[in-house]
Each structure stands twice: as structure tokens, then as C-alpha cells.
Amino acid sequence: MKSRFATFIISVIIILIILILGIFGIAIWQEVTGEEVSPQNIITQISSEDTSENQVVTPNVVENTLDNIMAENRTDTNVDTTTIQIDKYLYNQLDNESKIIYQAFEKNKENMKSGTYQVEFGNQFSSVLSQTNGQDKLADYYQSAIEAYTYDNPDVFYLSPNKMYLNIESTTRGNNVTYNVFMNQGSSNSNYLIDEFSSKAEVDRALNEIENIKNNILANRTGNTYQDIRMVHDYLVDNIEYDSSISLPNIYNIYGALVNGKAVCEGYARSFKYLMDELGIPCVLVIGTGTNSEGQTEDHAWNYVEVNGSWYAIDTTWDDPILRGGGTLPSSAKYRYFLKGSTEFYQDHTPRGNFTEGGKIFNYPTLSTSGI
């Protein structure tokens, strides 16, 4: 009898030990594996809005914000940028993290025409995100990449950065946190194209229209840098009408300028750079302020272009002025801002290195003192 009772007691003790070990094992497993944490979005909004009263317009950029929660899982893959070779003026000034984002956009340029393609960055930004204020730092890298990409590449006019969401997923397992980053249109937008376009087919159709006009313009190329710059300058001045209403579609991009023939200064400047790029002539788009003939200082956009190793300024918008009450201008007025040096040009133009308030300060080429 005592033997059976002892056996019973031992059995109970063994069961209790097994239960305790089981509970302890589950606790250890949960501690090791942890639970997935919902991703936090970094939302960067960049919008082009009128900031002037007359004919000087440059984009107004909204600062980065952290907002929203998205609970989705993404494959932890990195974008392969080993085959991407980029040598563009603003890109070369970016930090490595911003270059990764820029490279991903360049690699997926065709895919992004749909406005819904998701660009995967995987865990490439884990070292940044693990730092103090890591999300803020990544937001800054993202904004710099967006700015450099859109100003280096006027042909991607169809993208709307204020609809492009950079998402961060963080997964915690024990004391380890891993990150997965991807870009898409977010949950509030049907796509990240500008409002004038809604599909890849529409984007391709617009690009074909631009291509045809570009080919007609460049059919007149001479191979002489000075003459080719003048040819493009004259075409833009003669064929684009400044939109004083600041209300028409596409007035900030090359489609509005080249196809519709209506633009503000940013549309002129982007079109000039686009055509210079096609001609292989080094050119950058510059933003800053300009003081017009009435003494008003306003936001403005223009270009710098390289000729025989020196840089000169060109303002196609102000070479195509709006005359109050109509009238005509002498032909000399058409070249008032054509291939000018710093001494003359900076009398009424002041460049600004940052495209956004508090954003990365980019360097522009140093202008020749005198013009051509």
C-alpha cells in the first residue's frame, strides 16, 4: 500500500515538473521569437505649388512627417544596384543611403510608370534605423534622394512624390529588431502618378508625344555646342507661352511645356535640361530667387550649362517675358539672359542650394565671371 502511494506521489511530482518545464519552455520561446510590430510609415510629401504672383514659380515642398500604421508583411529582399551606373550632377552629391534610394528608382523607372509598383529596399537601412532618431534620418535621406532624382531627371515628370510612401516594418525577436523598407502609394492613394495621368498606357502615350517633339527639335542640331544651345533656347522661347493663370495642367513639367506649349518657369527650365541631356551637353536646373523689372523678388527657376569647360547661366523664362498691355520686344531682349556669367546674371538672380526648407544643400557649378 505504501509502495503504491509512494508511486502516486512520484508520478504527481514528475507531472508537475513536466508542466513547469513546459510553461518555462514556452516563455523562453516567446522571449526568443517575440511578436511582429506593425510598420511605421515615413511619409515624405513634395508638391509643386504656385508661390508667386507673376511669372516666377518654383515648387513648394512640404516637410517630412511620420504618420499612420500599416500592418503588412514584406519579403526581406534588397534591391540589386550592382548594374546601375549613374553620373548625374545632384546624384553625385548624395550620401550613400540616398544613393541607394535614387538607384532603386532608376532601376525601376519602367515599372514605376504604373504608379502602383512597389519598390523593395529590404534590410539595407537597418544600420540607420537602429540608431537614435533613425526614422528621422531615413526620412532625410529619402527626401534628398527624391529631390535629386526629380531634378536630375526631368523625364520622370509623371511621378508625384507627395503620393509616394516609404514604409518601415520592424520585427522584434527578443532583443533583436530587424527592418524591412519598401516604397509604394500607401493606403490612401490609388497610385503615385500626378493627377493628369492614371496608368502606364497614358504615361507611355505622353512620353511618345514628347519623343516626337524632341526628335523634331534635335533634327536641327549642328554639333556645335554654342549653336545647339542657342537652337534649343530659341525653340523654347518661341514655342512656349508663360501661363500667368497658374491653373493649367502640367505647367511645371516638360509635357506641359513641349506638348501643350504652356508652362511656368520650372516647366521652361526642366524642358531646357531635358533637351540638353539629350544633346549630351552638361546642364543643371537651378532654383532660387529672381528680382524682376518691377523690383519684386520672387521664387524662380533657371539653368546652368557647360560650354568648353566653363559654366554659364540661361534663363529661358525671362528671355520670353510677358509684356503688360501687349506689344513686341526688340530681338536683343531675347538673349538678355543667354549664356551669362556671374557678374551680370547675379545682379537679379540669387541661387538657393536647398530645394526644401531645412533640406540638403546641393552645390551648383561655379559660373564663369563673364558671359559668352
- The residue among 201 and 26 whose pLDDT is bigger is 201
Strand (E) or helix (H) holding 105: helix 96-107
Section 176-192 average pLDDT: 93
Judge contact between 9 and 126, C-beta under 8 A. no
Residue 187 has pLDDT above 80, yes or no: yes
Distance between CA atoms of 109 and 104, rounded to whole angstroms?
8
Q: Decide the pairing of beta strands 241-242 and 262-263.
A: parallel
How far, in whole angstroms, is CA 76 from its chain's centroid?
24
User: Three cell numbers at 118?
Assistant: 512597389
- The residue among 15 and 80 whose pLDDT is bigger is 15
Judge contact between 167 and 42, C-beta under 8 A. yes
Residue 197 has pLDDT above 60, yes or no: yes
Residue 54 has pLDDT above 50, yes or no: no
pLDDT of residue 351: 97
C-alpha pair distances (Å), 197 with each of 158, 165, 193, 289: 7, 18, 6, 30
What count of other Cβ atoms lies within 10 Å of the Cβ of residue 85? 8
- The residue among 79 and 227 whose pLDDT is bigger is 227
Give the single-character DSSP code of 325.
T
Residue listed under C-alpha cell 505504501: 2
Residue 51 has pLDDT above 50, yes or no: no
pLDDT of residue 172: 87
- The residue among 72 and 363 whose pLDDT is bigger is 363
Instruction: Give residue-wise pLDDT tens across range 244-277.
Output: 899 999 999 999 999 999 999 999 999 999 999 9
Section 84-89 average pLDDT: 76
Instruction: Give residue-wise pLDDT tens across range 269-309.
Output: 999 999 999 999 999 999 999 998 889 999 999 999 999 99
Residue 135 has pLDDT above 90, yes or no: yes
Judge contact between 43 and 168, C-beta under 8 A. no
Task: Mention the CATH class of domain 205-351.
Answer: alpha beta
Residue 312 has pLDDT above 50, yes or no: yes
pLDDT of residue 162: 92
pLDDT of residue 2: 53
pLDDT of residue 357: 87
Per the prediction, the chain carries an average pLDDT of: 83
What is the percent of the chain where pLDDT is above 70?
A: 75
Per-domain residue ranges for the chain?
32-184, 205-351
Instruction: Give residue-wise pLDDT tens across range 320-333.
Output: 976 544 556 667 78
